[in-house]
Structure 1
Amino acid sequence: MAGTFSQIYIQVVFAVRSRNSLIHSTWEEELYKYISGICKNKGQKLLAINGMPDHIHILIGLKPSSCLSDLVREIKKSSNDFINEKRFTTSKFQWQEGYGAFSHSHSALDNIISYINNQKEHHQKHTFKEEYISFLKKFEIAFKDEYLFEWIS
């Protein structure tokens, strides 16, 4: 019987609602482990996860039977509940609607993993808005400003 063979690597990027800087360094590692567990429980392979206080990057080896939007919805919903139940923030935590999803080749994985792991250093030079818009342009994704994340000026 023939099998299904695939190589699907997706970098997912999403932000905290209103781009508030709520992800604190004292608990971000716990959040990343929790999200890693969600991916594993959904049968996906998490290759890298990191972010900033206002957004997060996740690189996933996606199974062809998985629906990306369902996976991201579950990651956002469950991690949102986790953060609020743990009372990591004094106000109600919520992820912003929407996300970016960017596909990568196997040969690019080392560079993408390094990029995600070095988010703190990268954002000393570039804002999240600059980063996100550069992804959209690099991947030739048409967009309208009014449908992007809420930006902090």
Structure 2
Amino acid sequence: MGIGTFSQIYVQIIFAVKGRNSLIKAEWENELYKYITGIIRNKDQKLLAINGMPDHIHILIGMRPNCCLSDLVREIKKSSNEFIKEKKFIKDVFAWQTGYGAFSYSHSSLNNVINYINNQKDHHKKKLFKEEYREFLNKFAIEYKDEYLFEWIEYV
């Protein structure tokens, strides 16, 4: 990035555990978030918030224009997947779902987005991830087809 380059890019990234399985456990989620924080900082990006649920994660970053978002998300998923396996956090196979959501925000929205991410546990007492994700897509006027959304496991 050259001298005289100025930017203000804020992006919320959302992705899910493969099959939407609830595999991220409370006992080790903070360690996972710290690890992902390190990946983001090593890529010279600014982490503003990270939190999630057992089946998905939200990350808000201040993005520098020299960053390719898809490369960053691929690195976060690949490295954190290896980290979970290496630490033997779960007995089953762990993998992130292919695809992700990325939603941009203005500077004036940051406090609301940070609060929203920090309060994921309370928020999801009232709303399923499936509903939340569709609301994001609709709010940002993103066209989608259900068959291309995350693989949803329906619990009976």
The alignment's TM-score, normalised by the length of structure 2, stands at 0.97
3-state SS of paired residue (2:60)? strand
Q: How many Å separate the matches in 2 of 1:89 and 1:18?
A: 15
State the alpha-carbon separation in 2 of the partners of residues 46 and 2 from structure 1.
23
Name the residue aligned to 1:151.
Answer: 152
User: Residues 28-47 of structure 1, C-alpha deviation per residue, up to 9 Å, x if partnerless?
Assistant: 00000000000000000000
Shift in Å, 1:152:
2.2
Aligned to 1:81: 82
Structure 2 counterpart of 1:121: 122
Q: Give the corresponding residue for 1:6.
A: 7
**TM-score normalised by length of structure 1:** 0.98
Question: What residue number does 2:135 align with?
Answer: 134
Pairing of 1:76-115 with structure 2 (within 5 A): 76-115=77-116
Ranges of 4+ aligned residues in structure 1 off by more than 6 Å: none
In the aligned structure 2, how far is the partner of 1:74 from the partner of 1:120? 26
C-alpha separation between the residues in 2 aligned to 1:64 and 1:115? 25
Q: 1:151, CA displacement in angstroms?
A: 1.1
Alpha-carbon distance in structure 1 between the residues aligned to 2:90 and 2:110:
33
CA RMSD in angstroms comes to: 0.9
Paired residue total: 153
Per-residue deviation at 1:107?
0.2
Aligned to 2:26, what secondary structure does the other structure show?
coil
The one-letter code sitting in structure 2 at the alignment partner of 1:114 is N
The CA deviation at 1:2 is 5.1
User: Hey, what's the Cα distance between the residues in 2 that align with 1:144 and 1:7?
Assistant: 31
CA distance in 2, matches of 1:84, 1:117: 26
Between the two proteins, what is the percent identity of the paired residues?
71
SS in structure 2 of the partner of residue 89 of structure 1 = coil
Deviation at 1:22, TM superposition (A): 0.2
For the pair 1:58 / 2:55, whether they are aligned, the reply is no
Residue in 1 that maps onto 2:33: 32
Residue 17 of structure 2 corresponds to residue 16 of structure 1: yes
In structure 2, list runs of 5 or more residues that go unmatched. Answer: none
The separation in 2 between residues aligned to 1:13 and 1:100, in whole angstroms, is: 5
Secondary structure class of the residue paired with 2:41? helix
Is the deviation greater in 2-11 or in 25-34?
Answer: 2-11
2 CA distance for matches of 1:89 and 1:8?
35
